[in-house]
Amino acid sequence: MNTVLTPHQDSLPPATGAWREGDPPGHRRWYTREKPLALEAGGELPGVRLAFETWGRPAPDGSNAVLVLHALTGDSHVAGQAGPGHPTPGWWDGLVGPGRALDPDRWFVVAPNVLGGCQGSTGPSSLTPDGRRWGGDFPFLTQRDQVAAEAGLADALGIERWALVVGGSMGGMRALEWAVSYPGRTGALLLLATTAAASAEQIAWADVQLRAIRSDPNWRGGHYHDTGGPGPHTGLGLARRIAHVTYRSEAELDVRFGRAPQGAEDPWNGGRYQVESYLGHHAAKLVSRFDAGSYVVLSEAMNSHDIGRGRGGVRAALRRVTAPTLVAGVGSDRLYPPAQQTELAAGISTADGLRLIESAHGHDGFLIEVEQVAALVGELVAPRHGAALSSDRKPRTG
């Protein structure tokens, strides 16, 4: 049986890979909401805190602020090296930095760790007001709840209107929620490899992953953080294996690995194929830096995503978007196929058609093909773009 641990590990990792009090803060800052956050599904969440990172300085009028929103297992560390407090390098490092599309000399870039996450924001691994871990008692969240918390962060930073909101996958869901819930606060919008509403297939893939986590004996109903024992590493690792297959394309996996064995291992005698080793590597990486409880909470929030809920349907909701918008899909994406982005581009009157990111990598192409993403960002933040998408021009819809 394969394990989620690497060959060089001689003991289980901690019960959670979450950032916890006492860990190095790294480049994080924190926003704390003093009043409870009312939740869409009912009830409220007290003591909300969001970790975030920034690059650059805000203009006196706040007009240069850009909001970058991460995907399921991302965090606030968009750019920069791994180091104390940051287990991995920046996940969009090629997008933010001197001379790059989001140059801190021009832009004030803000990246929060999503509400429900595990890298400094309030989530299942966080302490409740009475000092215990939330664990399995953490409430159900929706994308709208998460965006409401981010709006509080914007208020605290003195940002009345974002020059640009950008996100891919789950981050794209929140970016879309920003543009629909707060159209006057969204100056431009970049939606990457995302959808107006989670599809049945996307919910089905998430269901299998959530069942893998919850079937792990060490899940303990989500209350595993302070037991002194191992966390649900096997379940979380299995969930990551399943997810990673959907994040990549069949063609890429076949070209990279084919049916080759891993080194001298014999798959007919208990050994692994290269592709199995590859999936195990990614499972081990996630276990070491993420929290199973957050994976559950965020996956359920993604399943709940429906921009048209309570708004008269998807088409009516998309008509609320007033920001100049670019919608881009990845041609080889089988998890969030381009047809979903076609629907977005057709429904948003200010969208400049549909763009396709050329990549063999599948859904992960929006993270890997940084140069193509940077070109899209450049289009939106160019001074002429606002005029190019003015109301007297009929936008392309396909």
- Distance between CA atoms of residues 98 and 383, nearest Å: 19
Where would I find the H helices in the chain?
143-156, 170-181, 200-214, 233-247, 250-256, 274-289, 292-304, 314-318, 338-347, 365-368, 370-381, 385-388
**309 contact partners, CB below 8 Å, separation of at least 6:** none
Which of 103, 63, 67, 142 has its CA nearest to residue 305?
142
- Distance between CA atoms of residues 296 and 279, nearest Å: 20
C-alpha angle 240/243/247, rounded to 5°?
A: 125
C-alpha angle 357/358/359, rounded to 5°?
A: 110
Residue 330 backbone dihedrals phi, psi, to 5 degrees: -105, 125
DSSP-derived secondary structure letter, 128: P
Known catalytic residues are: 169, 333, 363
**Contact (Cβ atoms closer than 8 angstroms) between residue 96 and residue 102:** yes
**Contact (Cβ atoms closer than 8 angstroms) between residue 189 and residue 307:** no
